[in-house]
Structure 1
């Protein structure tokens, strides 16, 4: 049919093509917007980095403090980032003690006191008194402020994302993931720093750690466990920081850990209790025995009881069971990495499992699990210790039959991957036996040149921490694009349907 010389049937055929073209254009436009946003964020972050470097390089630093004056503004350098002090009076601004690192993060002007870049409105700068151990008071209000920056746990992930969006796109306040954490001390009495106990103060009635009260603490008997500054005990109670633990005080408390990456556990040598911070291992499995203390070949400790082998899983934040207790009789610790029972000798070793994942430009390794294995070396009756190397700090030489072995304690941080090595030739054995000290470089050379050959035992128990690959970003993009396309298609469909109805009405008229 033709109206005014125009073929309506051809118009009807062209409309789906136009709709499809619009969808494609909108899709391309969305992708372009994402690339522009990515480019904008890159330049914004680069601009922030350059500005931060400009302040550090060209600003006027207040001696050994964290404060820098730049373009008549004051900034505090916290974890490598410079944060501006709001409404500061530059003329009267001064650091409390710019030559003492313990107070170099505290400053004042005529109006306010500052902890890092944060103003404390209820501290009078004209009456500020440095009490010591991180405590400050104006005679009315008192605060504790840490002299080292810490991660701001209150900045949750959702809040952080929102704050970064506001900062980058809407000139919002810069999110601060690290700060000098502070706490107001809830007392109207005068505080006094406690000697030989860092971060402690007392008002004569209560004892405070980092501004928090230690319930029922006896200051006269209060001390740190193994001189460690987060587990404390007095004549009756045991604390993690200011938290009272469900544990009776005794003189066999100690802090145990594996290598540099491991957690610090509180071990009760009297009853076999285990605590990680204020988390208690299940008491129904008591007593526990520690495996791997001071080991440089495992990332965290294992704990054995008659009911199984246990470990702490940082992913689930709970104690987990690796398996049955495989040991026969008494467990003897031969060195940090090697143990034995009444029958066999074992070693402890950490390893990771990865899988290959295809990406645009090849493959990447994706972490599947982190594992701590117990490996069986066979019966122990023929094993004999020959010598400590550097008092056992480097390792040990052992003998089984007519073969000699090197037991390593340098570990993965010194690029020594395995625990047990067979000594491959007489010359290497003489080098290891004939010297009190041998360098790490020499041990690495022995391994590289196959003078020390790794020995693999049979893995008989495994503590495994499994990781799931995060697909949140991909899911978000897929959902976002799908939603946008669906809404766009719906709008175009409704528009097309409306036009079709109008066309039908128009044709009915004729």
Structure 2
């Protein structure tokens, strides 16, 4: 940014904003984002966004694979993927996302007529489900949410394929599952002071809500407790519990992946290394041909 009196510039371009009030929109953990405001309007880069600023406005997610930031303004229910606004006809949206992308590569957004996401491969909004939430959606803990009737959890996934070129990523998915009623939830205790998650009860069922990024065989956001003896181990006030210990509980069947009804599923496909290789060689071939044609022809006498 640069300032000339009351005139503000962004990378040399004049910006219609109040310089004295300029500040970044923060992320969930308080860090600066690519969005900013002058206290009234919202901006990203050169773009003035079609929404008004409020104190609740937050940059909720970042998809590093597609370089997309997501902005959510709760009062109006407006959503932006970088500078692109989600369809205003379907506002207000409810944001369904994993803080720090623990169990979702990108966020989902519930509307009055279904559930949407931003397809980073096509750079456009896409509807993935006609499922409609009942009432206000609230975060219960980590990647578990509740509305007036049901509880839901987010889950990401990857599809891999083996070929003669090796193992490569085919697609990534983010799904929303309905798995329990929304009432009667009780927190039994935090796991390693909340670093690893928490244990909750609903009726006669107990669940471990994981806050661990997928590794060590811990890939899911919600596990049902199959062996009650692990409750004391998970919730004891101890710093010695490790992610590997929880992984062993999963291997022994003491914690099992929670089952539920998949109410929405988003999917982005990726090119195989073979296609990328062909494209690379194709571009290189075209460059060589054009370079050769561009060279000045030598006179025959010079050749002699």
Shorter-chain TM-score tier: 0.7 to 0.9
Partner of 2:158: 352
Which one of the candidate residues 181, 186, 196 is aligned to 1:384?
186
Residue 208 of structure 2 is matched in structure 1 by 406
Measured after TM superposition, the shift of residue 254 of structure 1 is 1.1
Cα distance per residue 1:319-345 (max 9 Å; x no partner): 111111332233221123111222222
CA contact (8 A) 1:272 1:287 kept: yes
Residue 347 (structure 1) shift: 0.9
Q: Name the TM-score, length of structure 1 as normaliser.
A: 0.49
2:237 corresponds to which residue?
435
| Distance 1:285-1:436 versus aligned 2 partners, 3 A rule | farther
Corresponding residue to 1:306 among 109, 112, 118: 112
C-alpha distance after superposition, 1:390-416 (max 9, x if no partner): 453321101234442211011215652
Task: Return the structure number with greater helix share.
Answer: 1
Instruction: Tell me the equivalent position of 2:5.
Output: 204
Q: Separation in 1 of the partners of 2:190 and 2:62? A: 20
- Once the two structures are superposed, residues 104-127 of structure 1 have per-residue CA deviations (whole angstroms, 9 ceiling, x without a partner) of xxxxxxxxxxxxxxxxxxxxxxxx
Out of 268, 283, 296, the position equivalent to 1:465 is: 268
Cα distance in structure 2, aligned partners of 1:414 and 1:401? 30
Q: Is the alpha carbon distance of 1:229 and 1:423 closer, same or farther for their aligned partners in structure 2, counting shifts above 3 Å?
A: closer
- Which residue number in structure 2 is paired with residue 240 of structure 1? 44
Residue 269 of structure 1 deviates from its aligned partner by 1.9
Match of residue 425 from structure 1:
227
Tell me, in whole angstroms, the C-alpha distance in 2 between the residues paired with 1:201 and 1:415.
49
Distance 1:268 1:325, change over 3 A: same
- Alignment equivalent of 1:291, drawn from 59, 77, 96: 96
Distance change in 2, residues 1:414/1:202 (3 Å): farther
Larger radius of gyration: 1
8 Å contact from structure 2 (residues 110, 133) kept in 1:
no
CA distance in 2, matches of 1:472, 1:393: 39
Aligned twin of 2:148: 342
What are the ranges of 5 or more consecutive residues in structure 1 without an aligned counterpart?
Answer: 1-199, 481-510
The answer (yes or no) to whether the contact 2:57–2:74 under 8 Å persists in 1 is yes
Shift of 1:308: 1.5
Q: Deviations over 1:425-449 (max 9, x none)?
A: 3432111122265432332332234
* More contact order relative to length (CA 8 Å, sep ≥ 6): 2
Q: Could you tell me how far apart the structure 2 residues matched to 1:236 and 1:433 are?
A: 45
3-state SS, counterpart of residue 106 of structure 2: coil
Number of the residue aligned with 2:22: 222
Verify the 8 A CA contact 1:259 1:296 in the aligned structure 2. no
Contact (CA 8 Å) 2:188, 2:201: kept in 1 or not? Answer: yes
Select the structure that is richer in strand: 2
Tell me, yes or no, if the aligned pair for 1:370 and 1:466 is still in contact at 8 Å: yes
Q: Measure, in 1, the Cα distance between the counterparts of 2:50 and 2:61.
A: 21
Counterpart check, 1:255 vs 2:255: no
* Higher mean C-alpha deviation, range 280-289 or range 235-244: 235-244
Cα pair distance change 1:337/1:449, threshold 3 Å: same
Matched length: 274
In 2, the alpha carbon distance for the partners of 1:423 and 1:373 equals: 22
CA distance in 2, matches of 1:440, 1:263: 30
Instruction: Render the CA deviation track for 1:109-152: whole Å, top value 9, x for unaligned.
Output: xxxxxxxxxxxxxxxxxxxxxxxxxxxxxxxxxxxxxxxxxxxx
Q: CA deviation at 1:216?
A: 1.9
